[in-house]
A and B are shown apart, each in its own frame.
Chain A
């Protein structure tokens, strides 16, 4: 392409950081044109280095500078305007110069009832207003960081050679100060995973050293892959089908059916992708799996690749999970060295390799087609479906995409056999499920229970609300889920029961609120979340999320247009068009929590 560049050039530092990701620059000679040029039309996989390159630049400089952007654009053959569009899509990238240390303070629905306000106040006192630099430091508010069980949470984005991002939870001012000063005071608290009994998916979490492949193998690791190799790809899929495993990402689609559809596609190559972009507010279970048992995900992805005839897999990890990133990088490297990844996996004659890619602060990229676009180095805008990923997924090729929890279930299925697995849970919801219990609860954490376990039992396991408090509301399934009231605690935690009750378990969020919560404030935060996270592609969601937030603010400030009833009706109409006409699940569910608060909790009855 005849690309055009502004006159901005990269600094040596920027060039070095970017080239470290993209490989050495065989730039055209400084003397002018050569004699011949053969254009490698930039394979799609090459373009997918856009996000890693932007990360490298951001991590070195603290912002996406014009010279750095030009360098990435030139190296990857991507037009600068398009690349600018990609960079400005993600909250973790800044195209304006920023200080090298930025404190992101989570003020989402769980943290805001568990100390976020105090952290924010401390930041305001010490640093000043949000978004403003003060002595090399800036702080801004953040959507959920996926550390709800240890709220309040903070992410510290640290740029410069040798520095790296860090999360703190529970965040104290002392810890924040230590982190911004690059002092290694922080001790990662243990993973909170409930009692050992009944833990299958979480059996190794907190038990084995997540850095050690040997420890993983000593605790049953790679037995599942060995069994898959023994029975072959089609029987592996058969097992997953017979186990009746349903996807844990929210849509509850039968995993085996999905795998079979991909395996049968004649187009090549096939890809497998792990959706580890866990960003539904209140969700943290995938993080716990990856931090506590990273090899399990690597093994499960290898099985998926083997079963679906893919030679390449990608894990798309949420950008705000630096610890999971480090542990997965270690696990992938160790597996490669030991022949569990590579040209001849386990000596079984098949090829499979994994790449870890990180998101950069965009909830929408958890939507599978948006994730593909993001991975491909484009804006994370969802695609219209059909066609579906099984035939037109990553790079337009047949792709099997599953979330972390779904994948590690496959290890379990192959380990215990489909029949035994299917005996767990209920007939309609086999196996166990991970729930993210947080909020006003005694022992927040990730809990694994058999599907069908009553919600009340789960809450008991987590110690219930604090003495003297009562439950006012529970947010099930996250911001895209819905509220239920204290009268619905008998709900069995199965897909069929949830469907029957008109609720969703979504990503396993169980955020508990006692009577101290200001529900309208929570709803405003949810509305703000969707307004911030809408990709902007389709009108219903792009404008609908704005109009929804405005209406809620008018209600909260008692400045309604017409009566309160008129505003509630308006909210309903806005919700309807978002649900009916949005391109993807984000818009389709952007009103669901708010609507559930209206209908189930009667939040506006008797005034706001």
Chain B
């Protein structure tokens, strides 16, 4: 099941594996407001209202429960909090689900029964779930479904957030999370881990979680965050409500940007460190979506004065008076292995020989773990460990409401040949690239009286842009779509809302309310 994921376009090689399974008889369900390329391969596609994921999930859950399809053995053995969860979903009848999600009850029922009856089922999601103001609740709602059916902790079953960037998993692994040390060791609660790091680094580790991105922007707004060191990010283009983001970034006391491009953010910086392309110009590791730690290698010399990240950081330390020795990537990695138990068994030699290793890999005889949470199936409470908790969550529609003034739901996403804000993909001449456009349904085009390629004004409560129209029969009436691959052409994030999930710090890129105006109509008015 792909929920809020258009893997055909965003994760093409992962989708090859899906296609192989389909050819062997696997069923594919896709939940997505748009009838995407992925949806066109699906046995069942559900085009829900943007932001009604919890409603759909709860309706599916109730249908599974009342049909007697819940995995009672797993629920009793391996989970906690089922009663509260059941009470919370019980009000989500098929009829109510249909009203809120826009999907016919019969199809919701079909999805529920298909998922629950499957021998094995994998539920994958991406930004369609997480780019919402209630992202964590959305994720939890999906996890609940897996717990309800026992589709977790077994080979061929499970939950999988498909990572959008080659090392977003690795970033988390390495502790680029406000409350974690490398190896997901909690900075506030894990005193043993802190002690290990203190011993290795010779400095005290403050047991206090840091800020995530949104909190940083809030702190900038409140003046408590005045200096910023940005490595390989372009928040001046990628943040929702970029007007605000650019203003805050541009008004810091110190802004350092370390990047391979002169990005919008770098243009605002006081100091720019030219960096190297990690995948092509440096040695190191990345971790992919399946927790596989893989080696990147230096194939090219970086141009001009660009240096690799280790060199820059070591040099910075030196200039600040800390005489860190210049380490190789492998030395840095071996230090990590000494501090992060789940990485301990992954020597460069083994990663090389085995073509990558999946964590956890506690020692050098361990083959790496194919899938997680198998412990939940253990009968022995000792081996089973902490029960997996059901988490009752509440449906909470998008913040930016549809109204007469802003009658269209704008959702954003990605294209096959482009990547995020386009700084990397702009450089190659993709024959597929058509530039930014506001994609609308044929019905919308008729009622607005616009044609393909006609330029129109798109207006939200926060800003407006001019973009050309592209008619997409995969969209339904009322739903419009843009990417943000071409900010230099059309700054889509002028339209999006920065309503943000307080826990994940992700903004609601997936749901803005807009209206479309014809340029000539406007001219006629003014």
Where the two chains meet, the residues of A that have a C-beta atom closer than 8 Å to any C-beta of B are: 1-3, 28, 30-39, 41
Cα distance A234–B159 in the bound complex, in angstroms = 53
Residues on A with C-beta less than 8 A from B472 are 32
For window 30-55 of chain B, which residues contact chain A by CB distance below 8 Å? 34-35, 37-47
Q: How far is the CB of B442 from chain A (nearest CB, A)?
A: 5
Contact of A37 among B35, B441, B444 (CB under 8 A): B35
Task: Kindly provide the distance from the CB of B477 to the nearest chain A CB, expressed in whole angstroms.
Answer: 6
Q: Are A32 and B442 in contact (CB under 8 A)?
A: yes
Please give, as numbers and ranges, the residues of chain A lying within 8 Å of B43 by CB-CB distance: 38-39, 41
Kindly list chain B residues whose C-beta atoms are within 8 Å of the C-beta of A1: 40-41
Would you call B41 and A2 a contact (CB within 8 A)?
A: yes
Would A2 and B46 be within 8 Å (CB), given that A31-B443, A32-B474 are in contact? no
Say whether B103 faces chain A, with CB atoms less than 8 Å apart. yes
Q: A1-B40, A41-B43 are in contact. Are A33 and B104 (CB under 8 A)?
A: no
CB distance from A39 to the nearest CB of B (A): 5
Residues of B within 8 A of A28 (CB): 473
Residues of chain A contacted by B473 (CB below 8 angstroms): 28, 32-33
Least distance between B357 CB and chain A CB atoms (Å): 34
20 more A-B contacts (CB under 8 A) besides A37-B42, A38-B43?
A: A1-B40, A2-B40, A2-B41, A3-B40, A30-B443, A31-B477, A32-B441, A32-B443, A32-B472, A32-B475, A32-B477, A36-B104, A36-B107, A37-B35, A37-B44, A38-B44, A39-B41, A39-B42, A39-B43, A39-B44
CB of A407 to closest CB in B, whole Å: 35
> Chain A contacts of B444 at CB under 8 A?
32
Per-position contact with A for B90-116: 1 when CB-CB < 8 Å, else 0?
000000000000111001001000000
Q: List 11 A-B contacts (CB under 8 A).
A: A2-B38, A2-B41, A30-B443, A31-B476, A32-B443, A32-B444, A32-B473, A33-B473, A34-B35, A35-B46, A38-B44
CA distance A2 to B475 in the complex (A): 14
Expressed in whole angstroms, the minimum distance between the Cβ of B19 and any Cβ of chain A is 9
A32 and chain B: residue at smallest CB distance = B441
Interface residues of B in 415-450 (CB under 8 A from A): 441-444
A70 nearest CB across to chain B (Å): 14
Of the candidates A2, A30, A36, A39, the one whose C-beta lies within 8 Å of that of B47 is: A36
Instruction: Determine the interface band of chain B, counting residues with CB < 8 A from chain A.
Output: 20 to 34
Chain A hits for B104, CB < 8 A: 35-36
Q: When chains A and B are docked, how far (Å) is the Cα of A35 from the Cα of B107?
A: 10
Q: Known: A2-B8, A36-B103, A36-B107. Is A31-B441 also a contact (CB below 8 A)?
A: yes
Q: Which of A1, A2, A28 has the most CB of B within 10 A?
A: A2
Residues of A within 8 A of B8 (CB): 2
A2-B37 in contact given A32-B473, A35-B476, A36-B103 (Cβ < 8 Å) = yes
The residue in chain B whose Cβ has the minimal distance to the Cβ of A33 is B35
Within 8 A of A (CB), among B437-495: 441-444, 472-477
The residue from A30, A32, A37, A41 contacting B39, defined by CB atoms under 8 A apart: A37
| CB <8 Å contact, B46 and A33 | no
A4 and chain B: residue at smallest CB distance: B37
> A34 vs B441: C-alpha distance in the bound complex, in angstroms?
11
Q: Are A33 and B102 in contact (CB under 8 A)?
A: no
Most chain B CB within 10 A, of A28, A33, A37, A38, is at A33
CA distance A28 to B441 in the complex (A): 12
What are the residues of chain A within 8 A of B103 when measuring CB–CB?
35-36
Q: With the chains together, A56 CA to B477 CA distance in Å?
A: 36
Name the distance in Å between A91's Cβ and chain B's nearest Cβ: 33
